[in-house]
Structure 1
Amino acid sequence: MKSEEMEADNISTVMQFVLLGFSDLPNLQGLLFGVFSLIYIIILTGNSLIIVITSLDPALKKPMYFFLANFSSLEIFYVSVTLPRILVNLWTQDRSISVLNCAAQMCFFLILGTTECFLLAVMAYDRYVAICNPLHYPLVMSQKTCIQLAVGSWISGIPVQIGQTCQIFSLHFCNSNQINHFFCDVPPILKLACGDTSVYELSVYVAALLFVAIPFMLILASYSKIICSILRLPTARGRTKAFSTCSSHLLVVILFFGSTIITYLRPKSSHSAGTDKLLSLFYTIAAPMFNPMIYSLRNKDVIAALRKLSLKK
């Protein structure tokens, strides 16, 4: 009985966390603020521009660009969950965050991350139908189907990720209140929990398999069919044109899923704070910054729409 009381005394209720972020680089705080501010502006401008041109240009009123506009909107929300907080921490040097705000940040981050996985899978399916079944494409990818697929991508992860966030924040945190990360991500939060967290780690692993690995496998299956169809095309010009419509999406998939899978599905023993931070920078900041560039520079329709928009001005 006494030992239980002593154990209970050792568990202090954490009211707020401290996001250590980039505090190990004290001489670079101003430079990091400038760099991340510039990145945020690039992300907002690039993705907003894609949303505008896909809305205004009649030539881009196709399912492919409808999903691209959804994806660009998602990227703006996704990066806004983490990057403004990083900028505030760098500017004020006050790295504290309440438990409630930390939980909210994690919840929105997980929901939007799930949406990104599903939306990338839907975009791969769209390319699969366009290239492998071109005659049935207008029928299969009707406006109603596109809206249903987009809405499904946005909402499908909400109940599970809310449940997972509640589960994680029902834990007692007694080791420390210092999160060795720049936002409230799952692995660094679990490291602060008292006692055995194996059940929680298993639930995170299962959620990652469900929302990351399965969409990634569907994307791989779509692209294996796409590549086979492209190779069967009679002319080199036709093969080049077909591949160019997919290459942008494939680059985005590799950039996002590569870093996400390594973060959430690699063994716990190989986790380190430095590696986790570096990988997180890829899928939270680098990917949303490069995506508009990848889609605009590698897509002739988008380039033509941008030229038209600039000439109107």
Structure 2
Amino acid sequence: MGCSAGRGTLAQRLEGLDGEAAKALVAKELQKGLALNGTDAPLPEAVRRHVKAAGLEALLAAGAPICEEVLVALLARLRVGEDRAVVNVFLDHGMDVNTQDPSPDAETLLMAVIRSGDVATVEDLLNRGADVMKTDSKGNTPLHVAAARADEAIVDALLQRGAVVTNKNEDGHSAVMSARLASLAPNLRLSGAGGWASKEILAHKVFGKLDKRYLNAGEEVWRCPTSGDCWTASSPPPSFPRNHQVAARLSLAGDAFSLADAVEGAWLFGEVQPWDVTFPKGRSMETEEEWQK
């Protein structure tokens, strides 16, 4: 899309620079004939190297294009947390507030910021018109992401802007279920390290710290991408018990099914008394995973 990763020379020199020093360096390189497009384009590398807002703004103001490679790097950077100035710099220079990751996941800019838990930047995006109902390729809305993280402040901000609780993702889960299970479609679960763990079938026996037992070969588990720890659906998510509080909050903005899902999840993990909950006649389930089915 018109630009590619540079060799990193300017980006490396911009690392750690802020304010006028960063702007002066970019201006000096422009006088020497710095190419802002093509094979030596510096912006993609600058974003990957976490160059500060002043350096990025200088490049953008000089005409550096916001190409696909820049967007991929920027969203990856935002997911792990970044100061709001960087987001606002890109928006001020023409980036669509509803831009989506060019990867197959098609995660929105708003979702990437929600992942980092940066409430102030979420508010900035909402104030600039971010669509609270725009989905990724798996049908998740921003509310699904905030709910799975059990981030009540962001959940409330999204609800105030009209986010709908009852929308279902590709796994058939509403935001209430995402909070209750700490999961996203397609069946990604929040790990203790805050990343998303994919479901897998164990090839050999391992000890599950969260389950406090050995997990056998052939068992269905989730594995933390950072620590490598495995756990099953019967163990509570890292956001427990806050996730059930958020599920309850969401259910009040949903329907009767939302309320049932929230109460059911809280009961299964001992957060409400069993006699407070009425289930369909003949149903007797033991675990959260059985209820999912």
TM-score bracket for this pair, using the shorter chain length: under 0.3
Task: Flag the structure with higher helix content.
Answer: 1
Q: Which has the higher contact order (CA 8 A, sep 6+)?
A: 1
TM-score, normalized by length of structure 1?
0.23
TM-score, normalized by length of structure 2?
0.24
